[in-house]
Structures are given as C-alpha cells and as structure tokens.
Chains A and B, each alone.
Chain A
C-alpha cells in the first residue's frame, strides 16, 4: 500500500517550458487536491477534485490545469512555466471531502 505517490521529486524547468506533475493514490479515495507551499505562506490550494471526472479551482489556479479521468490519478499541468511557479507542490487525497487528508512526499520545482 503506497499511499499517495508523487513524481518527480525534483524538477528544474526553463521559463516557458511545460510539464506535468504526477500524483497517484492506491486507497480508492474520492477527493484529491493539489497545493503549493512557499516560505511563510503555508499551503495554498491550486485545484481539487471530489471524484473522477469532476475538478474545480482552488485559491491559486492560474497557470495550472488538472484532469481526473480515473479515481487513482490526478496530474497537474504547467502549460508555460514562470519563475513565480517555483515552489514545493503537494498532492493529497482523502476518502471523502471533510475527512483526513493523506499527502504525498512533494515535488520541489524550480523555474529558471
């Protein structure tokens, strides 16, 4: 039982490049979400999903896209990376909304 798996763990991008951060969970959780963490700013919600086929915007969605074609996977896409997107990204899942969230190990992204 791996829990929530994020790949890659580290990534360096050039401004304007695109990439996808992967997130997979093996707990059959309905609710999944993406956060970014910047120093002194806590965790800010980017996008979330209450189930397969359903996604919605969080607090800071601009510059990011998501999709939820399966229960297990919730990839986060950066279409054109900007230095302001340098951050640590966490994916989380929970059985339902309003229950304990399990976090992945995080992806440290640097945009130069």
Chain B
C-alpha cells in the first residue's frame, strides 16, 4: 500500500530561523494536503496542492508539490513561537484512503 514518509522527525530552531519539512510518497499522488497540530490539539487543515510543480504561499509558509507528484515540502520563513506544533503531510491513494506522514514536530526557542 501507499506509504508517506516525512523528515525530519523533530526540528528545534531559534525564533527567527527558517524551517523546512519534507514529504515523500511511495506512489504518485493526485494531490497532497498539509495539516498542523498544536500540542494537545487536533490536526487543522492548512492547504492542498494539486498540480505538478505547484507552489503556494500563506504569509510566511511556502508549500511545494514536486514535478513527479511524489514529494512535497513546507518551508516556514522566520519562525515564531506561534509556529510550534507538528506538521503533517497527507496523500490520498487510488482507493480513497487519506494516508498521513509521521509528522515533523517543530519547537521554537524564544
């Protein structure tokens, strides 16, 4: 079955530094979604990418979808303490299963 891998598992940065998490799928994806989960909370949808090579921005967050539609990345510029949480990518396979990556936990030192 489809597998979605995410790296790194943890990232501890100083406030103001940049942060990137990478997502790789074992199969070609129709689209990819990104979610954020704050400590003790539930996952919250951030964005969906559909097109090969697509790049989308939300303020300090930049999302990319690879040309082969098998990988994606999330980059945060100048992290803030409010960015703390775990970031997940998720891809849907041909049988409509939405499979999540293992997540990257971001910690920000003020």
Binding site for B on A (CB under 8 A): 31, 33, 35, 40-45, 48, 50, 56, 58-59, 90, 92, 97-106
Contacts and interface: CB of A to CB of B under 8 A. Distances in A.
A1 to B, nearest CB: 16
B13 to A, nearest CB: 20
Contacts of B88: 42-43
A50 B92 CA distance: 13
A31 B96 contact: yes
Contacts, number: 60
Contact of A100 (B33, B100, B102, B103): B33
A74 B9 CA distance: 31
Interface residues of B, number: 24
**Shortest Cβ-Cβ A-B pairs, 5 listed:** A42-B102, A43-B100, A103-B42, A97-B96, A100-B45
Interface string B88-105: 101010011111111100
Contact of B9 (A40, A43, A100, A102): A40
18 contacts: A42-B103, A43-B43, A43-B88, A43-B90, A43-B103, A45-B100, A48-B96, A50-B96, A56-B97, A92-B43, A97-B92, A97-B96, A98-B31, A98-B92, A101-B33, A101-B45, A105-B42, A106-B42
